[in-house]
Structure 1
Amino acid sequence: MNKKLLALLLVLAMSITVLAGCSQPAEEPAEEPAEQPGEQPAEEPAGDESVFLWNVGADPKTIDPVLNGASDGGDVINQTFEGLVREKSGEIYPGIAETWDVSEDGMTVTFNLRESNWSDGTPLTANDFVYSWKRGMDPATASEYAWIWEYTNVVGAFDAVNGGSLDDVGVTAVDDLTLEVKLETPTDYIVSLLSFYHFLPTKQEAVEAGADGAWAKDPENAISNGPFKLTSYEIGGGLTLVKNDEYWNAEEVKIDRIEGKFIDEQSTAFQAYQSGELHFLPDVPPAEIPRLMAEDPNFFVFPLLGTYYYNYNMDLELFQDVRVRKALNLAVDRSLITETMASGQIPAAGFVPVGFLDHEGEDFAEKSGTYGIPTDDSQIEEAKALLAEAGYPDGEGFPEFTIMYNTSEGHQQVAELVQEMLKTNLGIETQLENQEWAVFQDTRKEGDYEMARGGWLTDFMDPMGLLAIFTTENAYNDPNYSNARYDELLSTAAKTRGAEHFEALYEAQEILMTELPVMPIYYYTDVMLVSPDLVGWDRSVLGTIDFSTAELVN
């Protein structure tokens, strides 16, 4: 990497068809599997072995491509699996597919696969993609990412997600090395979307060896097809990946072994990096950022197409009144928060971040406007008036509630700022509660919270990648928001292009920001510390890290 700092608006120049290789709820793993996978101690490295030390962060909920729904799990999966295509730095490269052809009417995409093997030496075929994709659609699998099939426009796929026949899905293995995909409507981003981890292949025999994705953490059953393969996994401790000699591009893989640590405390991981115990640190304590940005050439800040926000639990009477939700939004000074975080984040006045271009080449977020949501403290009086209209003048009688976040110094800092702003500006008292990743995701998904931190990175270069999560019964619709017109608009956007597509999305965001089931705080940036000894690493435009061509030079 020869760039230290990318300008935040660099993403404006990106093609609308580029896929992000990381998505999902930003930084949100969950519970351990019911049965612990085989825990094997890492072997001592040989003297000439290249060993890369990486802090993964929290212990991922799963590293099964079909079941994963978090960025940390996605980073591990990106090292151990490969799909039809691979995305690096905003460009799409051939993966298991050497070439692909799109029919003249845009309704059929044919992928011509290269000869390649699974890590156990058995051939990988087009049928492996058919199996894995249908597994992702199958309601019995209960994949949190099944909703994304609606936006692929693959014939019959979303019907299958909703209980329809898997036999009617338009995905066919013509032969071992030819995969045919039939679409309901031409979909510009379909090829790039398929580099996302949900669409990577899994081997049926391996999957069936362990329930609920446990196979992927078990070295005995973790058969993969990417640059590296799993050889050990210690829950709460770390994992070991070694070079996969069966990988089709193994000659380009320079690292022999990756030791991945599960250190989710930022200051602890930072100390480990400083003492030489880590080569790659995907996050740093907020207090260190100003100094690192000014002094350290190995500190990187990248733009991310994602949004940091808070969910209101829409099932609670406390948040039923939209005047209350709007008052809380107006009382928060987002500029002060981003200045305090000092990582280049952009204050959020909408849900879709800057960086998405519409059919006229205009930035979606800028064209959408601010929806009356300030990025400073200029509308406190309006917030007070709304709260008074709702029956709580100067906050009197407003029930104390809890702001919940997953354990992190950065999340704590934001929560404390929001807590103080609500008290100072509206007279509302709140409590703060933090939970570990494993507990937090389940708590939030079960609706056992009042107001809870959220974060989302888009899965592909289209505003749908963010707005779709608030459709009714989406697995990541944590506020449990439901609006029939909103659902209709997202469905329309999935099946249209150009002006009609974007008009539906503009209207959808207008509804979301009028009803405010969430409180957008800022648009993400990605910060990391990387040892100068590590070269050749890469990341997608949405943050997924790629070590397939990385190398340790010292």
Structure 2
Amino acid sequence: MTKLFATTALVASLAMPAFAVQPAEGETLAENQVYNFWLLDAIKSVDPAKNTDVEGSDVLRQLFEGLMNEDEKGAMVPGVAESFEESDDKLTYTFTLRDAKWSNGEPVTAGDFVYAWQRAVNPETASEYAWFMELMNIVNATDIVKGEKAPEELGVKAIDDKTLEVTLTTPTPYFIKTLSHATTFPVPQKVIEEYGDAWTQPGNLVGNGAFVLTGHNLGVDITMEKNPEYWDAENVVMQTVKGITVNDNNVALTRYQAGELDRVDIPAGQYPRLSQEAPDEAISMPYACSYAYVYNVSDKGPEALKDVRVREALSLALNRDIIVNNVLQGGQKPATTWTHWAIEGFDQPETELATLSQEEKNTRAQELLAEAGYGPDNPISLTLQYNTDENHKKLAIAAQQFWKPLGVNITLNNVEWKVHTDRLQNQDFDIARYAWCGDYNEASTFLDWFRTDGYNSGKWSNAEYDQLMVDAKTAEDTGPIYTRAEEILAEEVPAAFVYHYASVDMISPKIKGLPTENVLNAWYAKDLYRLAD
């Protein structure tokens, strides 16, 4: 076995906390250590196996802790695992766990991870993220997800209470990067068995994170208080963390300016003004999420979208420069690929979408629709669905206008987030707004979405693409594979990629410790503190 210390922080972890932000000299702490952050939508679930949302992950990161965490720059640092060893063949990882406790005072054991991971892949759990365990290449994960093997056959076992062994089917360079994801968090078996689905309710939920759940009014707010049983509680300054749901981004900004919220997304188009008015509060940084309009090419989808010429025409006619420069105005970039441009080691291919001028794209779009038998004299009528948000509405209206000259009539359909995701999962849409945020800093976190058996809401399928994703798992050099995968997406156009995110926020200068260089935008309330007025 080769002992690995993936970062200098990991080496240091043997003698000090994995990562902790502490007040600088001269800073005075507020008596009230409270952090209020904005949520656009209700948190659907605080069950690590059942959450699918970025905002849900933000909450879960406070209530639970996995084997690894991320530091302020996105590097992996110890969580519950204080060290690990990798076998010479890179197929077996052995983690040594620190002395950590659940919020009820009981010890966190290797068996808790075994139970949680087996539960995530168990078809009876109906986890929408079961595929993540497949992506990690854990032995038997795929067969278990398909219902062909028992969950107990997953390649993870407790050697003893403090030693966890994970066996992979193939060397996986990004494996360690997956271990800060919520799907890999431990969960308390006894509590789940006692309360069933109600185990996630305040008063029932037992976690091992730096905070405990004390209140959850669905669609209104969610409240977490410092967990005295957390292994590093003495270095946690923040006492209360509260997520407040506000469906209107502009209203959220108003509440921020009134001092009710400490962090909000800046509404589209307002970053230039706010960065002038409040340069110490308005920030923009790359954020590994990509925005797209997904086409429903399943049997339930409209006939027109089954023609690749129609899909390509719609994609070409989207004026991404206007979207990022005139509508969003926050440092976002036009998307010509699904993979975010800032992902480590990713090279964007030279596609038609990336090289033509907008005038050339519009001409090509008209030609493609004419070849498909459509145009102003034979229009296409489609519905574009998006979830409630002023920014999504503005972009949908823009898309509607870009497509109108082609003879494509778009009806806009605004629905709540839960309805939106349910319809996506059931292919009850024509075109749907969607965004994907990276689960780890490597291109496969985006590209696996479009596998035939991936998340893939539009149900596009391509055998060469699927094989590339298989090949990438064992390739020494994944770069050419990922480039070819993006080329196939450009050729087949299962979605119109719109823009790559930037995190464009107003952050109260009183709140310290929020990361500004982590492209995954993962934050931990245990690292935050509030300054006095």
Q: Aligned equivalents of 2:351 and 2:447: distance in 1?
A: 16
**CA deviation map 1:62-104 (0-9, x unaligned):** 1111111110000001111111111122121111111111122
Q: Aligned equivalents of 1:277 and 1:357: distance in 2?
A: 36
Aligned to 1:431: 411
Q: Which one of the candidate residues 188, 210, 213 is aligned to 1:230?
A: 213
- Checking the alignment, whether the CA contact within 8 Å between 1:209 and 1:221 is kept in structure 2 is no
Aligned to 1:95: 79
Aligned to 2:335: 348
Deviation at 1:280, TM superposition (A): 2.0
- Checking the alignment, whether the CA contact within 8 Å between 2:38 and 2:246 is kept in structure 1 is yes
Q: Which one of the candidate residues 514, 520, 526 is aligned to 1:537?
A: 514
Deviation at 1:534, TM superposition (A): 0.9
Where structure 1 has 5 or more consecutive residues not aligned to the other structure, the ranges are 1-14, 19-46
Q: Aligned equivalents of 1:487 and 1:375: distance in 2?
A: 31
C-alpha distance 108-190 of structure 1, shift in aligned 2 (>3 A):
same
Q: Aligned equivalents of 2:87 and 2:453: distance in 1?
A: 34
Any residues of structure 2 matched to 1:176-215 within 5 Å, and which?
Answer: 176-212=161-197, 214-215=198-199
**CA deviation map 1:4-55 (0-9, x unaligned):** xxxxxxxxxxx99x9xxxxxxxxxxxxxxxxxxxxxxxxxxxx954222222
Secondary structure class of the residue paired with 1:454: strand
Aligned to 1:12: none
Secondary structure class of the residue paired with 2:124: coil
Is residue 526 of structure 2 the alignment partner of residue 553 of structure 1? no
Paired letter, 2:396: A
Deviation at 1:427, TM superposition (A): 2.7
Secondary structure class of the residue paired with 2:241: strand
Deviation at 1:453, TM superposition (A): 0.3
Aligned to 2:152: 167
C-alpha distance 377-434 of structure 1, shift in aligned 2 (>3 A):
farther
Secondary structure class of the residue paired with 1:286: coil
Relative to the length of structure 1, the TM-score reads 0.86
Is residue 89 of structure 2 the alignment partner of residue 105 of structure 1? yes
Any residues of structure 2 matched to 1:377-526 within 5 Å, and which?
Answer: 377-392=359-374, 394-424=375-405, 426-474=406-454, 476-494=455-473, 496-499=474-477, 501-526=478-503
Q: Aligned equivalents of 1:85 and 1:541: distance in 2?
A: 17
Q: Which one of the candidate residues 312, 315, 329 is aligned to 2:315?
A: 329
**CA deviation map 1:391-415 (0-9, x unaligned):** 11x3322232111111111111111
- Checking the alignment, whether the CA contact within 8 Å between 2:99 and 2:108 is kept in structure 1 is yes
Deviation at 1:436, TM superposition (A): 1.2
- Checking the alignment, whether the CA contact within 8 Å between 1:355 and 1:364 is kept in structure 2 is no
* Identity, % of aligned positions: 37
Give aligned pairs, total: 497
Aligned to 1:142: 126
Deviation at 1:209, TM superposition (A): 4.0
Q: Aligned equivalents of 1:63 and 1:459: distance in 2?
A: 17
**CA deviation map 1:363-412 (0-9, x unaligned):** 421xx1124455734321111111111111x3322232111111111111
Any residues of structure 2 matched to 1:107-146 within 5 Å, and which?
Answer: 107-146=91-130
Relative to the length of structure 2, the TM-score reads 0.89
Q: Aligned equivalents of 2:522 and 2:38: distance in 1?
A: 14
**CA deviation map 1:328-377 (0-9, x unaligned):** 1111111111112101111111222212354xxxx421xx1124455734
C-alpha distance 306-49 of structure 1, shift in aligned 2 (>3 A):
closer
Aligned-pair RMSD on alpha carbons? 1.9
- Checking the alignment, whether the CA contact within 8 Å between 2:351 and 2:487 is kept in structure 1 is no
Q: Aligned equivalents of 2:436 and 2:323: distance in 1?
A: 18
- Checking the alignment, whether the CA contact within 8 Å between 1:100 and 1:111 is kept in structure 2 is yes
Q: Aligned equivalents of 2:114 and 2:337: distance in 1?
A: 38
Deviation at 1:541, TM superposition (A): 2.5
- Once the two structures are overlaid, the 10-residue window that deviates more, 171-180 or 503-512, is 503-512
